Structures are given as structure tokens and as C-alpha cells.
Structure 1
Amino acid sequence: MHLLAFFLPVCISLAIMIHNDVFPFGENCILHIDMYHQYAPFFTELMDKLKHGESLLYSFQIGLGSDFVSLFAYYLASPLNWFLILCPKDYVIEFMTILIVIKIGLCGGSFAFYIGKHFHTQDYMASLLGCFYALSGYMAAYSWDIMWLDCLVLAPVIFWGLEILVKEKKTGLYCISLGIAILSNFYIAIMICIYSFLYFLILFFEEKENFRGKIITLGRFALYSLLAGLMGAVLIIPEAIILSYSGSSGFSFPEGMEMYFDLVSQLARHCFEVEVYTGRDHWPNLYCGVGTLLLVILYFMNGKISWKKKVVRVLFIIFFWFSFSNNILDFIWHGFHFPDSLPGRQSFLYIFLLLTLAYEAYHKREGSETYHVLFALALIWGFLALCAFVVNVGMVTAESLLFTGVLAGGYGALFFLWHLGKKEWKKAASLTVAALAVMEVYANFSLTGFDVTSRTAYTKNWDSVKGLLREVESMEASQFYRVEEMERLTKNDAALYNYSSSTIFSSLMNIGVGNFYRKMGMEGGKNFYSYSGSTPLNSAMLSVKYLISKSPYETSPLRTLAAEDGENYIYRNLYTLPLGFMVEEDFESLWAPQKGSPIYNLNRMVYCLGAKEELLTPLSGATTVEDQTTKIHVKEDGYLYALYGDKSAPVITVACGERTRRFTKCDHGYLLDLGWFQAGDTVEITNTSKVEDLQVTPYVLNLYALGEAYETLNRQTFEPEYFSDTKIRGKIRVDWPGNLILSIPKEAGWRVYVDGEETECSTFMESFIEIPLSEGEHEIFLSYRTPGLILGAGLSLCGIGIFGGIFIWKKKYEKER
């Protein structure tokens, strides 16, 4: 049964992938949303670290620098990910694809395991319902979210462990499986813990024990839940500390209660072929089989099931309904935060509950009467008719309602036949139910799950870019420099190509850096910051020395060509600084950049650095607008930038002759780097959203002001003599006292030594490491250790030690008895 429950969803998943031409059966892959933008780069970085023996504490290939332990805990902590060390370097996508398929199969197997243990039986229905658990609407929506799937596999095991903890006083399975879930993904584990607590209350009051026994059971549950949490502390504590620097730090409890949607519209999400939802409007993905709905109704009508048990379960179901649509419960379920898209992340627990009740209705089917089936069908059809009048057709289509009704009728007829028929008829009905269920789950997952994209398009630049980077590295004498892209695939390309950059997309991103970027006219947000919008001075301060482009036209007074292969080009920025540079002690207070005023902030900065003119000056009267196209008429040679007032267009294209630049995510609002133009050129700016007037304001870069400001920063710099992910060493000559600014996010974990003595450093612009230095020559040494790692490891060892000590004591006690 367990093997069937594993292989059935695996075979269905593989069949769908083959149908969708997923590599190696075609040129597609299942990279989707965060799997495309985050998991593929982060898996690649983990693989590189494992294969090359690099530190797992920190990485300069993710943003300006990121703690890797917390990133591992958040994205990569599945025990199966360690097999990356065996993965060929060009097949990380396939490694993740195989893992997803395996975890889908394990979900089916673990559900069948729970059913077998809970009901003391093994039959094909457990495998079928396990298939619906493995290929539910939740999985169709979030199968790409590979970091969550371990918890879906472990959930049925945890709940069986909880049952034997209460009923048989056996504690090991619950504690160990919950501990592994917490280590694998603490976020989904929070939801499992909430469900476990609620389910424990049900078991606690249903179990017949005396007062003393109940107190002991309560203590046992509390103790082993705490031990499971302690086992996960080695990752939880570092992750919590690093999260405190992110846009997800802190929480604000909702001030009032709000309901997102009506119950009918919510329950319609159970229908066959309902499009999965991953946006911000809170709709949960609830599909778990049309036959499941029929069986759940039969469960509550079954004469062999206690009415007290039914009352508790129906209240549990209603609680879930309320949780999906109520803002306060939604906030609590999601770890005291509102999810930024990807809603209803706890709905797999609701699906598990329904499927368990469905199996019990099947298991005790002798308690169902023929008219029960007719009533259940009438109820489903009546609900579908109501949906046709109430539900937004954009969420649930008429086709979906129709097919759901037909499937319900098919299952109802087969159940009806089973009740009335002879032994041969019952066998035929059972086989037909199995075939119908497999076809249903295959069709639903094929229509709603596994979005694909071109693998060829995702990987086509890998060899070219990596080859050019190796060429540049062979020419470089510097221990450290950063590289950026003009046309990036993702905001984590640095991890894909193994170079240091100044761009990131991660939930663990330092929000202070994002805020600083926005003040400088660059792209920044809650969980991302990007080089887009950078000026030569910003770029220099971030130590960006090289720029990757597909265009052969980027040579200018700002950069020269360093390497090219006809497909990609790498340019060397002429204005660049090493990792650190000096500013005066009062520079930050004199500069005082303002939110929402990037041009003012950039011009104010160069004045504070000794420039006598503005960095960016407006080109008055140079623009015209006609037919949704903004034209800039260039009168003098110069390097141009532009701000735009209308941010409703996500994509903006800039063209002049054969040169074209395409800017994406323009709704984030950043300075457009238009490029170098000559007198007489006409620059055309268009957008894909057909916005009539983007309200473009062009600016010209003042090379004289840039040179003055750059020379000030370049007079006293810190060039590392030794550089690794966790250790940096170098010297600097200081001619006047001030602050050394390192373009590394200031976070707990970095220890700074000046001339051999540990020095307390501060934070520059709420983002970077700032070290006060006196006049003279100084040796600087920095070392990194993940904050909270030692404490977390100690607590985890304590948890394991206490668990092991109790286990040994119990075994010894039982032997003596």
C-alpha cells in the first residue's frame, strides 16, 4: 500500500512532465516563481560551497554579502539537499525537479502510512486518498516551493506520533519527526505546531483517563514539543537574528477584524479544475478530490461514527473555514505576519483533515445508507448551483462547476452501485472508482499544476558568461571586486554564475541596504535590492568593477570593453573603488539624504565630497511626447539618466538607432540609466502598458563633478590583501581621521580588529559597516561567525541530550521492571 501510494503520484507527475516536454523529454523545465528566481541560484551556491569546501557561514555571491546559515535554514535545510554534492554542475534544475517528484511521492506514502496506522488497515483507498494529498490543489499551487514540501511529507508522521504519545505514551516518533520538520522549514513547521496543539486538545479530551493521567499526558506533550523546538534551535536562533534585519522583522497585530470573502466563494475552491491562486487576495487552494467531498458528507451521516466525534470534527472544519477568511486568524497561522502573496499556506492541513475523514467514511461504509448517498449528491449539486449565482466566474468557471457536478454524479453512482450490488458488482465498482480517481487527479494536476518555462532560455548564457568571467579573473590582481549585469535573468544571478554582486532577492535581505538604495535612486524593496538605477558614483561605492551586457555599444567615458565573445560583453567601469573607502566623521550628518528625493540626494552627496557642481542636471525643453512615445532630443554629447513620474508601466524600452535597452520592474521606481549619446541623437522611450505620458525627466551626468567626488573617495581606500567569505585582511593609510566605510551590510556576526585590537564599529546609513580610524597606517582584520549559531547549537545538543537521557532511563526502567 505504501509503495503504491508513493509510486502512483510519482508516475502521474512524470507523465505530466513528459506531456509538457520537461527536460530530458523536451526543452522545458518546471522553474516557476521563487524556484526560478531564488531556489535555482541558492541551490547552485550550496552545491558550489559543498564541492569546493567553502565556508557555510557567509556568502558574497548573494547580494552585497549574506549570512549563509540563516539562508540555509530558510531555503535549503531539507536533508535531501546534501545530495547536491553528487549533482553534476549543469543539472541543478534537474536535481530540484527530481526532488520535487520524490517529495510528491513521499507525501502520498506518508499519508498512506498514517491511514494504515490510525485505522489498522491497508487497502487501495488509502493509496488513492494519499494520491489526492500528494497532488492536491495546495501541491498544484506550491509544488515549486520545494522548501515547504518536507513538512508536507512529515505532517502525517507527526500526527501519528502525536496520537501514540497520547494513547500509548510513546514519545519518540512525535519528538523526532517534529524536530526534523522544524529544522527543514521552521515557517511551515509553525503551522504544523498550531495544528498539533489543536489536535492534541481533541485527543486530550477524547482520551479516557483519570485526572492524574491527563496531567501527565499534558506534561508529556509540552516536554516533547519543547525538546523538538530545542533540536531545531541550531537553525532557528541564527535565522531569527538575521530576520531582525529584514523587511519581515517585527509584527503589528491587526487592529480590527476583517473577513476576506464569503463562505460559498471560499468553498468553491474545492471544485475540479479551479485555477490555483498565488496572489495577494488570500484565496486558499483547497482542491483534494471531488470524491472526497462526497465521502466527507457521508462521514457526518454515518451511523457507526460517534456524534460527539462528528461535532468536534465539524467544529475543526469550521475553524479552518474561518481561518482562511478572517484576517486575525490568517495573521496567526502565518507566524504573526500577513503573507506577501502565496496565501492559505496552512491549507494542506485542512486537506489532510478532510482526507482523513473521507477515509474513515469509506472504512466504516457499512454505516452509510443508500439515501445518504442521494442526499450527499443533492447537497453537492445544490451547492454547485448556488456557486453559479454567487461565485465570481474569474475564480471558478462554469466549466469547473459542470465537471465537478459530473464527477460527483459518477462517484455517487458507483457508491450507490456498491451499496446495492452483489460481490462482483462491488469489486467492479471499486475498480471503477479507482480508475476515475486516478483520471481525475491526473487531469486536475495537469491543468492546474506544473507551470513550465524554457530551460534553453534559462541556461543559454551560462557557458558564455562563465567563460568571460574566467577571462576577466585571469587578468585581475585585486582580491575582491563586484560584477553586475545590464540585462539580468534573476536578481540572484551572482549565485548562478559564481561572482560577487550588489543585487539580491531574498526574504532575509537587509532592509537597511534596500532603504539606502532607494535614497540613491536605485531599485530597492522589502525583499530585494538591485544595481538598477545606479550612477557611476553609487557603483564605485559598491565596488562594482565590471558590467555584463549583451550590447556591443556600451563603451563610453564611463567604461571600456574588457572581454567579449560575440554573444556577451564585459565592460570595465573606469570609476571603481575597492571594498572600503574613507569619509569624514560628520559626512553622514552633513549629507542627510531624504526619502523620495534621489536627485537631490546624489547632488548633495557630491557637494559633501568636495564637488563644486551638481552630479545630475536636468535637460530642460529636450523632451516631446507623441503616440505614447517620449523623445529626448540630444543637443550635446553626454551620459543621460531619466526619472519617470508614472510608475504604472512595468517595462520601459529605450532606443536610439541600433542601440536598445530594456528596463524591467519599472513599477518599483528607479533612475533609468539611458547611456552615452552624441549631439543630434534622438532617444525614444516607450512602454508595454501603453501609458500615454510617462512623465520622463532627463538628466545629464556632470563628469567634472563625478571626477571631483570620486577623487575624494579614492584618496584613502582599503584594498584587501586576503579575502574569503569569513575573513578579510588588509592595510590602509589614513591621512586625516574619519570613518572607513565597507560595502558590506552591517549585521551581528562581523568582528572588526584594528591593529590587533577588537573595535566597536557602527552603521553607515543604517546599512554598511563603519569603522572609526585615526591618522596613520592601520591593519584591518574582519572575521565572521553566524550570530546565535553557538547558542543554537548548544540548545540543540541539550535537547538531543535530554531526549537521549530520557530514552535510556526509560529503557533501563522497563528492563528493571
Structure 2
Amino acid sequence: MLGYFIFRQMYPFGKSSLLTVDLGQQYIDFFAFFRRTLLHDPSNFFYSFSKALGGGMLGEWAYYLMSPFNLLLLFFPGKALTAGVLFLTLLKYGCAGLSFAFLLRKTQFQRGPLIPLFSTSYALMGWFIANQLNLLWLDAAIFLPLIIYGLIQLLTNGKSRLYIWLLGLMLIDNYYMGYMICLFLVFFFCWHETVYYQNFKNVLKNLWHFCLHSLAAVGIAAVILVPTFFSLLDSKGQYTQQSISFKFEYQPLKMLSKFVIGSFNFEQMPSGYPNLFIGSLALIGFLLYFLNNHFKLKERLASMILTVFLFFSLCFEPLDLFWHGFQFPVWYPYRFSFIVSFWMLFLAARSFKKMPLPSIGKLAVAAVLYGSLLCYVLINIKKFTFLSKETLFLTVIFALFITIILGIFAYSYPKHLKLAASLLLLVSIAELGTNAVYSLNNLSYLTQLDYSQPATALAKNSRELKTLDSSLYRTGQVYSRTKNDGLANGLNSGSYFSSALEKSIPDFYGMMGNPDGDNYVTYSNGTIVSDALLGMKYFITAKGAGEITSRQPLTPLTEKPDLRTYRSVTSNVLTQTYRNSNALGLGYVANRKLKTLKDFSDNPINYQTQWLSAAVGATENTRYFQAVDFNEVIFQNVNQQVNLTDATLRRNDLSKEAQVVFKFTPKTNNSYYLTLGPSLDSDNVSFFLNNRQLNQYNTFRHATIVNIANHSKGTEVILTAKFKKQLLWLNNFVLYQLNNKLAKQQIRRIKQQPVSFTQHSQRSLTAKVNVTRPHQLFATTIPYSKGWHVKINGRQVSTYKIQGTFLSFDLPHGKSRIQLSYWPPYFGIGLLISLVSLFGTFLVSWWIKPKRRRKK
């Protein structure tokens, strides 16, 4: 694999990098956060204001960052982090092969050249290659053989320490993949007890040991598992599948296509078939196992039952959901297929142990079955866009080589057994390497420059702001590399991408007019009102990003003409930073009307209006935004409409381009915003602002707000909508003018009762406030959590949720000192369970050792 990376010029060996899809858009930023937390700010372990608007981080660490391998990344600062990712990937390939080799050697399933043969098949199996970019999952493939060996030791010799510690460490490392391994351990236990059955009493004894030691491992990991479980109830747990269809997700025979070389490409990531490639020899060995009469019929039947169950799990919806915790995976389907590949390789290695070289008859049967598989793929190859006749031909060639070697040396067994094993090793490594090359060549990767330029610029912006202002605030982005820029660089940017994002945050962003999804939010579409209320004190923009001829290497995230009302404070070669004097802090004194603020669906203008009015105690009829008409609308190859909002436009001539040009000339220097419904995303229409591409986030599932003018009095603004399909629905398409003066007056009213934060960290805040009006509460834009505890003048007070999202509490009249502190919910309980489990494990181990010595 190192040879392949060097050949592909992966950094530090060239200009490319390993970054692709989630590795480049998500994990690399988590790794930067990992380094920053351990080296500079350990309080980020429990809580971070860089997580969207703020949030508990223990669940994020449990899913993304608890791998002990990540410590290697501490030696790769800044832009060299991509080199650390490469070496981390290589290390995991090596450790996967090593752990399977350990299992083979300790169980005496194999010896000599067949150990590296099967261990390399395991390390370079299709699942590992396809998920090379999902570094956080690869540990599961490393731990699985070791845990299985520990379980075998527990059931055969009563030795428990290896099993307990390895399973406990796996659950701490990644609870999600650990859950899948735990399920397989149950099935493997049943298989083992069937194969090695002695008497019912022994089965009960082993069952007791299995349950007891498994619970001990879970107990050791409870310090992570317990708080993570409760945090999941607010995030992924909200999306648990409520109804299950008893159906096949695809025609089951189609998964046979994944045994062919190069059976992976980008299209297989969001929705594909399970990755099962293990190489021709391993597949032939797996087939031969069931023909091998050296194994009792009882064992082969038990293995067949488990095999059938595993393969049905790969295509039958209820079983698929069962392995994934009753949630359909978002991208990367059939994530547990590494367990199926392990099982096949386990049986294949076991088969060759008792039958070093198969008889010609059995080999012929296996060859016919394998040939039938390849014939099926050839006949249906047009249905598999990820395959080509070239890769199928290569698979056939390697299969023939291996079959011929097995057939020739079967006659001379055992005289030339070592030579046969060596030849099989060479051919298998060539086949596995070929599959890796063809599979990984199907993906595109970020160049090192694509990563290093924005990463370096963001790091520089972060340092400049920390020098300029050491208080607690949020920083909006007008350029970005990913949604986790803030997380990677210590900027509270309001954007975030994580599989464990609390559901209330996307719900809030959707109401506010910003892009959101089940696992991400992007603060890209703020208004002067939302910028102020959310405490967006600074904004960083790329210089010249709005110019048609700009060669700016930083990618614009959004339009932000409102920056003309903010003050420039710092500047460098690539970026400029503006200060928003309207910004409130993360907490402010507000009227208690905010308690009764209603939810608004697809009406962000109304939501922001009601939020500001409720905060100051104004009447509900106060209007900050006013709908305005376009001066001129030109329909080109489109049916004309008088009323634009929610109108459906149709392309007249399907063979020609269609577009609508909207023109207006602002009569004031106020801010102008356009609302766009979800049907106006980049899949349906391309927007151009004054003859250049509109900078706007591509997809959104609720109405979003686009800032298109500010300080543009008398200057014509031209917006062009170019059709991508036959129909275009102008869902929530409305142009608004903000009364900037009125909005700023209301914001200044809130500031008349200032909140002064005297101390702050990621998990504790201290503030002083003087309440001068009746019926006031302390409103924060910190997401509500049971982990936040509040004291006013030294006395504990109750908290509650406002706006369905934020932390709040009542305030007494006059001067108050407020202390907020965060402690992860249920962390104390989990820590206690872990300590008790550790003490119990050591105590039992200390008590059992002398008894074993006496027996010996």
C-alpha cells in the first residue's frame, strides 16, 4: 500500500493526498480538533462552542476520536496533518493483517507462507479498501480477530483477561462498530458451543462465563458508553426507524458482483452492495470448507446456518437494520460486511488446516461454483456500473492461476507443499494488490494544495482574532473549506458536520433560514438580525471573492453584502475580517415573552421578526422586513407569470435554454434579502447575480435567506435563474427589504442591560448583569442541555429550554453574578460503573491466580 501511495504521489510523496469524501470533508477536521484539544485546550474534551452553536463533545469523541492510533497524529502539525493521515492508514493496514495472523498462529489454523497469505487477504479485503477513508471504523477490523481469540481462550481454557480488556477497549474505541462486533460474538459463541459440544452442563458454564465477562467489558467501557447513550437519545436516537419493511433491499444474487476485482467506485458509497472481496484463494477455501469431510457434519451445518444468516443480513431489510442499530446508514451501506469477510476467511483458513491441498474432485466442485459466480456477473455485467470486462477478465485469470496451482501440486502433496504455498502467496498478493489499485483509482482525491491553502489561512485568521479579542464570541464565515473549519481551528463559526448532531440544532437552523440536514448545519445565510442575536461578532471573508475575474484560492461560501455595514478590523494577503458592533454575547437579558415564542415552518423572516420582538417585549405587529416587488421580470423560453411567489414555471421549448431575469433597483441603502424554498436548490436551478455565479450553499431542505444587496441605493441588481429541468417551482420566492435602523434600535435596547462575561472556558462561564426592567430572563444562544448548571449569586437555580433549542433561566431584579458550568450528563454514573468493574476484574483475577497455581 505504501508503494501504491508513492506511485499516486500522495503527500508527503507528491502533490496529491488521501483526502476524499468524508475523510477530506469531516474527519481531517476532527483530527485537527484532536490535536488542538490534547496539546492546547483539554476542556474541549467535554464541551466545545465550535460544535455548531455549542454542544457536548463526549459523544463525538466516542464516535470519532477515541482510537489509540490517533496519538500518532500529535507529531504532524498544520498542513502536515495529511501526511499523518497517510501513515495512520498504513499502520492500520499493517495491524489488521498482524491481528489476523496472530489469530491464525495462536489457534494453529495455519503456519508458514499461508499465514501471510490469509492475513494479507484480510488486511486488503474489499471492505477495508472501500472504507480506507473511514479511518475511525478500521479499528474494528483490527480488534475483531483478537477479540475472537480472547473468546476462544475464555471458552476453552477459562482465561478471561484478554477477552475482557480487548472488548472493553473496542467499545471505548468506537461504540458503533463495537456494537456490531458484540452481535457477532453472540453468534460465534453459539457456533463454538455447537462445534465443541461436550455436555449441557459445560454449555451453561460457558454461557455464564461469556455473559459475565462480556458485561465486565461493557462495565469497563461504561465511562464512555453511558453518557454517549444518553447523548444519542438527542441526536441519532431521534432518527431511529419506526417501521420496518420485510423485504429484500435488492436481488440477493447481485452481491456476487462484489467478489470481482475493482468492484467499487464512488457510486457505491451512497447506495451500493456490500463489499465482500477477499481474493480467489480465500473464496475457493471458503467453498471447500463445506466440502471438507474432515469436519463433522454437525460443524458444517452450524457454519452453513451462520453463513446463510450473515448473507441474508446483507440484503434483507430487518436484518440489515438490526446490525446498524435500527437506523439506515447515511452513505456507506452494509458497514458490518467486514464481519462477513472475516467469517469467510476464518472458515477458509480452517479448511486448509485440515486439508492442505484439496482433492481434484473437491477442487473441481469449488471451481464450478466459482465459475458459475463469474458467469452470472458476465451475463449481467451491464447492470453493474462499477465493473468492467477488464476487471472481470483479471479475476478469471487469477482464479485460473490459483486453481491450476492447487490442481498441479495436489498430485505431489506433501513433497512440494511449501513451494505451492509460496506460489499461492505471490499470486494472491498480486490479486489483492490489483483489486486495491483498481478500486482506489476509481476515486478522486484532494490535492495537498486544496487542503493546505485554506487550512493555513483559517489557522492564521484564528491566531489573528485571538490576538485581537480574547473574549467569548462567534465568528461567521464568508469563505470556507468545510463545515468543520471552526472545529479544526478554534473558531465558533456556527457550522458543523457530525453523525451525532443533536436534532434540535438542525430544526432551529431550518426555522432561521440556514441550510441544515440530519447531520449538519451551515451558518451561511445570516441577516443583520440573526447575526446580532446569535453573537456573530466577527466575519472572515476572502478578498476579491465576489469579483468575476478573481483568482482567489479560497472558496466563497455565501453572499454577504451586509459586510458593508460592519467595520474592517484586520486584513492579510488572502482574507479580511470585519467586526459586527450589533452582536450580542452568548447570553443576554430578554423579556419573558421569549418563553412563548412559537415555531415557524419555512418562514425564516417571520421567525426572526418574532424572535427580536419577543426579546425586547415589543408588539407582535412590529415589522422589520417588508416584501418588495421586482422592477422588471424577463421570461426567456418560459411561460409568463404575474404572481411569482409559489408559481410553477415551465420551459416552452425543451431543446433550448430557459431562464428568468429578475431586476430591481434598491431605493434605500438598507439590506435586501431573497428567500428561496427547497425546490430552488442547485439540482433545479442555477442563480447568477450581476452576471456571475451566485455564491450559495447548494442544497437546503427548508426556506433559506440570501443577502443580495446592501448600500446599493440606485444601483440595479440583476438576478438570473437558469433552468436545469423542465419545470421550476418558485417556492417561497420573495424579495424583502430590512428596516436596518429599526432593527438596530431594538438590538440597542437589549444592550441597555449589558451582560459582562468576566471568565470563560469551553465548559464554564462567569458573568455580571444588572437587571433594570421587570419580567426579564437570561436568554442564551447556548443549546439546552441537562449538563449545564447555573448559580446566581452562589445559589443554584433551575434552567429551562426556550425556542425549543436554547438554555435559559429567570433573573432577579438588580445586580447578579452568574456562574454556568457544564458536566456531561450521566458521566459520573458511567465513571462509577467503570471503576467498580475495574476493581471487580482485578479482584477476581487476584483471587483466581492462586487457585490455578494450586491446580497445576
TM-score between the two structures when normalised by the length of structure 1: 0.93
Q: Contact 1:749–1:785 (CA<8 Å) still a contact in 2?
A: yes
Q: Which of 561, 565, 571 is residue 564 of structure 1 equivalent to?
A: 571
How far residue 660 of structure 1 moved from its aligned partner, in angstroms, is: 5.7
> Residue type of the partner of 1:674?
I
- For 1:139-218, list aligned pairs within 5 A: 139-218=128-207
What does 1:727-746 correspond to in 2, within 5 Å? Answer: 727-736=764-773, 737-746=775-784
1:497 aligns with 2:489: yes
Q: Contact 1:244/1:250 (CA < 8 Å) preserved in 2?
A: no
Paired with 1:143 and 1:781, the residues of 2 have a C-alpha distance of: 45
1:315 matched to 2:325? The reply is no
Q: 1:327 pairs with 281, 298, 317, which one?
A: 317
Equivalent-residue separation in structure 2 for 1:694 and 1:570 (angstroms) = 37
Aligned counterpart, 2:676: 644
Residues in 2 aligned to 1:689 and 1:160: alpha-carbon distance in whole angstroms: 57
Aligned to 1:664: 697
Cα drift, residue 32 of structure 1:
2.4
Residue deviations 1:284-318 (CA, integer Å, cap 9, x gap): 11111122222222222223222221111121111
Q: 1:530 aligns with which of 506, 522, 531?
A: 522
Superposition pairs of residues 43-442 of structure 1, within 5 angstroms: 43-55=31-43, 56-119=45-108, 121-249=110-238, 251-276=240-265, 278-281=268-271, 283-365=273-355, 368-390=358-380, 392-421=383-412, 428-442=419-433
Residue 830 of structure 2 aligns with an amino acid whose one-letter code is G
* Distance (whole Å) between structure 2 residues aligned to residue 364 and residue 815 of structure 1: 34
1:711–1:628 CA distance, 2 compared to 1 (3 A): farther
1:651 is displaced (CA, Å) by: 9.4
Corresponding residue for residue 597 of structure 1 = 603
Kept after mapping to 2: 8 A contact 1:485/1:548: yes
Q: Is the 8 A contact 1:650 1:667 kept in 2?
A: no
Match of residue 9 from structure 1 = none
1:644-699: CA deviations, max 9, x gaps? Answer: 34245259765555876422332444222324344342333456956774735333
The alpha-carbon deviation at position 121 of structure 1 amounts to: 4.1
Is the CA contact (8 Å cut-off) linking 1:751 and 1:758 kept in structure 2?
Answer: yes
Q: Structure 1's 548 and 658: CA in aligned 2 closer, same or farther, altered over 3 A?
A: farther
CA contact (8 A) 1:578 1:717 kept: no
**Is residue 2:503 matched to residue 1:511?**
yes
Distance 1:375 1:73, change over 3 A: same
Cα distance in 1 between the residues matched to 2:609 and 2:352: 73
Contact 2:686 2:724 in 1 (8 A): no
- Give distance in 2, aligned partners of 1:317 and 1:85: 42
Q: How far off is 1:81 after superposition?
A: 2.2
Q: State the partner residue of 2:457.
A: 464
Give the Cα–Cα distance (whole angstroms) in 2 for the partners of residues 721 and 654 of structure 1.
46
Asked whether the equivalents of residues 474 and 538 of structure 2 are also in contact (C-alpha less than 8 Å), the reply is: yes
Q: What is the rounded CA distance, in whole Å, between the counterparts of 2:563 and 2:533 in structure 1?
A: 20
- CA distance in 2: counterparts of 1:190 and 1:403, whole angstroms: 37
**Structure 1 residue 166: Cα displacement:** 1.1
CA distance in 2, matches of 1:462, 1:587: 39
Question: Where do 5+ consecutive residues of structure 2 fail to align?
Answer: 547-560, 637-656
Per mean C-alpha deviation after superposition, the further-off stretch among 351-360 and 461-470 is 461-470
Question: Once the 2 structures are TM-superposed, how far is the Cα of residue 410 of structure 1 from its aligned partner?
Answer: 1.9
- Kindly indicate whether the alpha-carbon contact (under 8 Å) linking 1:129 and 1:359 is maintained by their aligned counterparts in 2: yes
- Give the one of 572, 587, 590 matched to 1:583: 590
Counterpart in 1 of 2:549? Answer: none
Partner AA of 2:59 in structure 1: S
Structure 1 residue 706, shift from structure 2 partner: 2.1
Counterpart among 707, 717, 720 of residue 682 in structure 1: 717
- Aligned-residue offset at 1:739: 1.8
TM-score, structure 2 length as denominator?
Answer: 0.89
Letter in 1 for 2:335: R
Superposition pairs of residues 751-762 of structure 1, within 5 angstroms: 751-762=789-800
* Alignment correspondent of 2:663: 633
Structure 1 residue 26 corresponds to structure 2 residue 14: yes
1:796 and 2:786 matched: no
Q: Which residue of 2 aligns with 1:445?
A: 436
What displacement does 1:713 show? 3.0
Secondary structure of 1:774's match?
A: coil
1:697/1:629 CA distance change after superposition, 3 Å = farther
Count of residue pairs the alignment pairs up:
803
Match of 2:641 in 1: none
Is 1:17–2:5 an aligned residue pair?
yes
* Shift in CA distance, 616/691, structure 1 to aligned 2, threshold 3 Å: farther
Aligned with 1:770: secondary structure? strand
- Per-residue CA deviations over 1:53-87 (Å, capped at 9, x if unaligned) read 53222222222222222221111111222344444
1:718-769 deviations in Å (ceiling 9; x for gaps): 2311111121101111122222111111112111111111111101112111
1:615 counterpart = 2:615: no
Give secondary structure in 2 for the equivalent of 1:249: helix
CA contact (8 A) 1:254 1:327 kept: no
Unaligned runs of 5+ in 1: 1-12
* Alignment-mate amino acid for residue 601 of structure 1: Y
Query: Deviation digits for residues 517-542 of structure 1, max 9, x if unmatched?
Result: 11111122211122122211111111
CA distance in 1, matches of 2:684, 2:7: 32
Query: Structure 1 counterpart of 2:698, which letter?
Result: K
Deviates more, 1:316-325 or 1:49-58: 49-58
- Relative distance call for 1:551 and 1:139 in structure 2 (3 A) is same
> Is 1:653–1:662's contact at 8 Å kept on the other side of the alignment?
no
SS of 1:570 mapped into structure 2: strand
Q: What CA distance in whole angstroms lies between the structure 2 residues aligned with 1:455 and 1:689?
A: 33
CA-to-partner distance for each residue in 1:144-189, whole Å, 9 max, x for gaps?
A: 2111122211100111111121112211111111111111011101
Distance 1:555 1:699, change over 3 A: closer
1:201-220 per-residue CA deviation (whole Å, 9 max, x = no partner) reads 11122223333322221111
- Between 1:169-178 and 1:79-88, the stretch displaced more is 79-88
Q: Percent identical across equivalent pairs?
A: 23
Contact 1:644/1:694, CA 8 A, preserved across alignment? no
Q: Which amino acid aligns with 2:541?
A: S
Amino acid at match of 2:579: R
The alpha carbon displacement at 1:502 in A equals 1.2
Once the two structures are overlaid, the 10-residue window that deviates more, 48-57 or 349-358, is 48-57
* 2:843 matches 1:815: no
Counterpart of 1:3? none
Distance in 2 between residues matched to 1:247 and 1:297, nearest whole Å: 39
| 2:27 is the counterpart of 1:39 | yes
